[in-house]
Amino acid sequence: MPDNEHKITILDIAEKANVSPSTVSRVLRNSAGVAARKRAAVLHAVAELDYRPNIFAQSLASGQSMTIGVLTQNFGSPFYDGILHGILLGLEGSDYWPLFADGRWQPAVEMRALQLLLDRRVDGLIIIGGQISEETLQQVARKTPLIVAARKTPTLPENCLYVKNYEGGYNATRYLIEMGHRDIAHITASYVNPVAVDDVSQRRKGYEQAILDAGWQPDPRLIVEGNLQQQSGVLAIEMLLARGRSFSAIFAANDQMAFGARLALYRRGIRVPEDVSLIGFDDETFAPYMVPPLTTMRQPDVEIGQAAVAAILDMLQGKKPDLPVFETELVVRESVARR
């Protein structure tokens, strides 16, 4: 082992391998044009001296940090964590590593996190959801390769990956209608900033259009707002029951609120699906293990993450990225019964 008080440099490696410093530099950059014997000698010296390159110095010298900044929302959120998993899978085998930051759905925190990533000189940036203004996103995109995942921004159509949430909401509601339900409640969500729930608002619009296409009018008494958390699903059921408007089915805008709704119905002695049918959105890991297993709309979260990486890597190579639009898929389990 080398003396810890002496910082190993390229000159030390060159002396031990009996080559020039420029040869060591080319080997460390994995450049061509180095004889196999010299390359092996350099790599052996690197291992023996336990050399650790100065990443920041290399970044300044090459203009690349070999990192991809990832700004997400709420570490621990099943949907967003699925996208993060896809990003990790997409980066496997590449020369890039992710650098993560959490915006926590708070605009001030998001902006600090964004600046942190940019200050680290990330080579590309993936922003998942969030509330950062389109003007700011445009400014970032002019300087740094940018992909916005799980959010549709009209001013940056060539930088966005998103899910067809309107169609997902429509198809979820249409399935309940086809199962004979007419009085269908909907648990949606709202925040101060409407950008944060554009996906959810699109699901509500799909729900309302399916009701209209069936020849009925959406009843505002059957629509309640939560906050995408389980507890708000519990409260939503209490609100629906307090209004006194009967319903035979519920479409929750995400699985988390569906889980909470299921608990509230159980506490009230209302059986699922015998008394009330229930459908969610996301197909989270625990959806098949709810009692009864939850019928839901699957979002391809892992695939979104992988597509985001593929797109950002294309941009780093000067290519136009391929940006698919993702469909949702109805996953039929046991929480919906025919009326």
pLDDT at 192: 43
Report pLDDT digits (tens) over 192-244: 445 556 889 999 999 999 999 999 999 999 999 998 899 999 999 999 999 99
- 149 in the same domain as 44: no
Q: Which residues constitute the domain of residue 80?
A: 65-163+301-328
Name the domain count of the chain.
3
CATH code assigned at 122: 3.40.50.2300
Question: Residue 152: what pLDDT?
Answer: 87
334 found inside a domain: no
Full strand arrangement of the beta sheet holding 249-252 = 223-226, 184-189, 249-252, 277-282, 295-298, 329-331
Say whether both 189 and 270 belong to one domain. yes
Find residue 128's DSSP bridge partners: 149
Predicted confidence at residue 198, as pLDDT, reads 82
| Domain match, 174 and 245 both | yes
Q: What is the pLDDT of residue 319?
A: 94
CATH number of the domain enclosing 43: 1.10.260.40
As a whole number of angstroms, the distance between CA 23 and CA 31 comes to: 9
Please check the confidence at residue 324 and state whether its pLDDT lies above 80.
Answer: yes
Least confident of 185-194, 278-287, 310-319: 185-194
Q: H helices of 226-284, where? A: 230-243, 255-267
247 inside domain = yes
Cβ pair 287, 70 in contact under 8 A: no
292 pLDDT higher than 60 = yes
What does the alpha-carbon distance between residue 87 and residue 253 come to, in Å, rounded to a whole number? Answer: 25
Provide the CA 163 distance to its chain's centre, in angstroms: 11
47-96 pLDDT, tens digit each: 888 887 665 555 555 557 789 999 998 788 888 999 999 999 999 988 89
Residue 112 lies inside a defined structural domain of this protein: yes
Quick check: is 3 in a domain? no
Question: Confidence class of residue 107 from pLDDT cuts 50, 70 and 90?
Answer: confident
According to the model, what pLDDT value does residue 197 have?
A: 61
Do 182 and 265 share a domain, yes or no? yes
What is this structure's pTM?
A: 0.80
169 plus 272 within the same structural domain: yes
Q: Are residues 280 and 184 in the same domain?
A: yes
E strands of the chain, at which residues? 67-72, 97-102, 124-128, 146-149, 160-161, 184-189, 223-226, 249-252, 277-282, 295-298, 329-331
Instruction: Tell me the angle at which helices 301-316 and 78-91 cross, rounded to the nearest 10 degrees.
Output: 40
Cα gap 151→280, rounded to integer Å = 20
Query: Could you report the per-residue pLDDT of 8-43, keeping only the tens digit for each?
Result: 888 888 999 999 988 988 887 777 778 989 989 998
279 & 186 share domain = yes
The answer to whether residues 122 and 69 touch, using CB atoms and an 8 Å cutoff, is yes
For residue 32, what is the DSSP state? S
Query: Is residue 2 domain-resident?
Result: no
Shared domain for 217 and 293, answered yes or no, is yes
